[in-house]
Amino acid sequence: MASTVGKRPLPPGSDENDPKRIRSNNGSPAPAPPAANGVSEMERKKQEAAARMAAVKAKLAASRAPAQSTASRTPVSVALPPPAAAPVNTVEAKKLEAQRKIAEMKAKMAIKRTPAPGSPASNATVTPGPPSDREQRIAEARARAQQIAARSTAPAPAPAAAPTPPPLRQEAGKSARGGLGIGLHPSLMGDMSASGKSKGARGNQQRVTPRINPYLAAGDDDQKTEQDQGFDPSLGPRRGGERKSKQLEFNQKGKFMAQANALRQQAKLEEMKKRIAAEARKTEIEEASDKAFLVPVPPDVEWWDEGLIDKIDTEDTIITALIQHPVILKAPQDKFQPAPKPLMLTPTEQKKLRRQRRMADMKEEQAKIRLGLIDPPPPKVKKSNMMIVLGEQAVKDPTAVEARVNREIAQRASDHAKANVDRQLTKEQRAEKLKLQQAGDEARGILIAVFKVDNLSSGKHRYQVDVTAKQHALTGIVVLDPEMNLIIVEGGAHSINAYKKLMLNRIQWSENTLPLSNSAGPSTFTGANDGTSKGESGQQNRAAQWLNPLDERGELKDLGENKCHLVWEGQEGRRIFRNWSSRACLTDGEAKDVLGRSKMENMWTLGRSVKTI
């Protein structure tokens, strides 16, 4: 042993026999002394660990076999080779390691090939011969596949005793770090063949789990998992169903040929359908030519007349030689359409049209004169052109010529006046024309209007309301009341518009006048219903108190606050009232009864609701 003079002292509490590498005097570690038989201490420890791992793997392989198969089989004694003696050099150590692995694989294959009970070979002891390299590789692959299948179905085996872990950092700090006094790293406890390259330089670092193919290193993975401290199989990742191999399926001869023939047949059918459709379309086009529009010869008797042939010659037949022309009725909505408005022309355009029309009439008259159809008109002699038209005669006898011209002027004036009178309508014709116009106005639609008048005591107001309604052929009723007077009229649009202008604009409702002494006669608002006169019985009527234009003192009543209001207007299907009349009522109930006969009692309520401003 080298001298320890000048070396740093060992830490307190350390063992003197600690296999620490001796450092040189210069501060660098001195080489370790050679071991016995020429093998270093590290190689010896690796060989011992590999031997222990081989024994553990053999035990695990024996425990994974099925229970019933194990119970029925004849136990086969497998003699594991004892740990080999320390080789002289590293090459001999590797050869011993390879022989040991081959022996382990033979032991596994012997356990798997043990025959079942009852077979002729069950009582015999099988002594397999030395396998070749190819058989050894096939056996090793099959063994690993069976181990993977057994691990997915059989329960996990009890974890084997884990090797002594390396000391913790706190404990290792008591002694010198490094050297050969530390435990074996977990990565060195796996398959030595899989980890041929040693990682001794990273032994004290944190363990990194290597990525290993599960089909090639399944046994090593299980062993490493069991060696980890604190490992709980229930908390590990759940393995899903393993992939199952599928059998090869060979297609029968002619399968794809049949499919191709079916596709060709389908294509031929589609092409045939298209060709038939094109021919049919072409035939339709030819049939739709001019020949298709020829009208066939009508039959002698149509099918709808066959049942009437036997009834033509009978006496009560409705078929005659006369042709019936049904009356064409106009649509009811046509009467509501307004007449087209004429085009608006400027004065210059109107003069131009008049000039063109008169010129056309003159040319037509001249043509008739040339043809001798009419006599030419006499010359129009006036005092201004008398000397030009009648030159010689005017010179000889100017007095006679002037008298002649005056007679012609008077004749032309009388002819013009007579023509105007002939064109005028008579009184009966004017009444008939007005009646036709009112009927046409009514045919376009019936309108109704309701007015409310505060006071109708003035006779002039009553006269205007009454006469105007009769002139425009309006029907309705006037309800007289001490507090309110309601007027309901119905008729055509033109008549209603004219009556609205009268009631709302023309009549001065705030003016009151005395009754006329020379009245033309009784009317709707005079005579029996007028407060100023008496009836046939010699007594005044019921409306005498509020229809009298004079008050108790004999003075005209003040109508400054009297007004007329349009309560409601609208359309109706037909006339409700037959004629124009009036009625005096003292109470609201009596007024509603009068209007209720025509179903217009709601108008009285509506008139009451109108507020007078």
SS3 label, residue 540: strand
Higher pLDDT, residue 256 or 144: 256
**What phi, psi does 572 have (nearest 5°)?**
-145, 160
Q: How far apart are CA 400 and CA 71, in angstroms?
A: 178
| DSSP-assigned letter for residue 550 | B
461 alpha carbon, distance to own chain's centre:
66
DSSP one-letter string for 473-534: T-EEEEEE-SS-EEEEEEE-HHHHHHHHHIIIIIS-TT---PPPTT-----TTSGGG-TTSB
> What are 178's two structure tokens?
């490094």
> What are 499's two structure tokens?
């009556």
DSSP one-letter string for 11-39: PTT--TT--PPPBPTTSSBPPPPP-GGG-
Burial of 344 (0-12, 13-18, 19+ CB in 10 A): exposed
Q: How far apart are CA 481 and CA 546, in angstroms?
A: 8
| Cβ-contact 541, 530 below 8 angstroms | yes
Q: Which of 528, 521, 520, 516 is nearest to 480 (CA)?
A: 528
Segment 400-421, tens digit of pLDDT:
999 999 999 999 999 999 999 9
Top mean pLDDT of 125-134, 436-445, 487-496, 537-546 is at 487-496
SS3 label, residue 456: coil
> What are 251's two structure tokens?
């297609």
Higher pLDDT, residue 449 or 225: 449
Q: How far are the Cα atoms of 35, 98, 156, 224 from residue 212, in angstroms, in the given order?
A: 36, 21, 20, 12
Residue 322 pLDDT > 60:
yes
| Cβ-contact 181, 20 below 8 angstroms | yes
Residue 470 one-letter amino acid: K
> What are 207's two structure tokens?
């363990």
pLDDT tier at 182 (50, 70, 90 boundaries)? Answer: low
DSSP one-letter string for 386-430: HHHHSHHHHHH-HHHHHHHHHHHHHHHHHHHHHHHHHHS--HHHH
Burial of 342 (0-12, 13-18, 19+ CB in 10 A): exposed
Tokens 């009388």 found at: 414
Segment 359-403, tens digit of pLDDT:
999 999 999 999 999 999 888 889 888 888 888 888 888 899 999
β-bridge partners, 568? 450
Residue 192 pLDDT > 80:
no
pLDDT tier at 75 (50, 70, 90 boundaries)? Answer: very low
pLDDT tier at 76 (50, 70, 90 boundaries)? Answer: very low
Q: How far apart are CA 513 and CA 556, in angstroms?
A: 7
Residues near 240 by Cβ (< 8 Å), separated by ≥ 6? Answer: none
DSSP one-letter string for 578-609: SSEEEEE-SSHHHHHHHHHTTT-HHHHHHHHH
Report the residue count for the chain: 613
Residue 259 pLDDT > 90:
yes
Cβ atoms within 10 Å, residue 338: 6
Higher pLDDT, residue 333 or 9: 333
Q: What is the mean pLDDT of residues 71-93?
A: 51
Q: How far apart are CA 149 and CA 153, in angstroms?
A: 7
Residue 201 confidence (pLDDT): 43
Residues near 445 by Cβ (< 8 Å), separated by ≥ 6? Answer: 336, 492, 493, 571
Secondary-structure breakdown of the chain: helix, strand, coil percentages, each rounded to the nearest 5: 45, 5, 50
| Cβ-contact 146, 69 below 8 angstroms | no
Largest alpha-carbon pair distance within the chain? 196
**What phi, psi does 437 have (nearest 5°)?**
-65, -40
Q: Which of 585, 354, 346, 357 is nearest to 485 (CA)?
A: 585
First to last CA, the chain: 141
Q: How many CA atoms lie within 13 A of 129 on its CB side?
A: 3
Residue 482 one-letter amino acid: P
Q: How far apart are CA 555 and CA 294, in angstroms?
A: 97
Q: Which of 100, 64, 62, 97 is nearest to 81 (CA)?
A: 100
Segment 20-72, tens digit of pLDDT:
555 555 555 555 555 545 567 788 888 888 888 888 888 887 777 544 444 44
Taking the CA atoms of 121, 126, 130 and 131 in sequence, report the sign of the dihedral they define. Answer: positive
Of the ranges 260-274, 324-338, 421-435, 452-466, which one carries the lowest mean pLDDT score? 324-338
Round the average pLDDT of the chain to a whole number and report it.
75
Top mean pLDDT of 150-159, 161-170, 239-248, 603-612 is at 603-612
Cβ atoms within 10 Å, residue 143: 17
> What are 326's two structure tokens?
């049904």
pLDDT tier at 468 (50, 70, 90 boundaries)? Answer: very high
pLDDT tier at 141 (50, 70, 90 boundaries)? Answer: confident
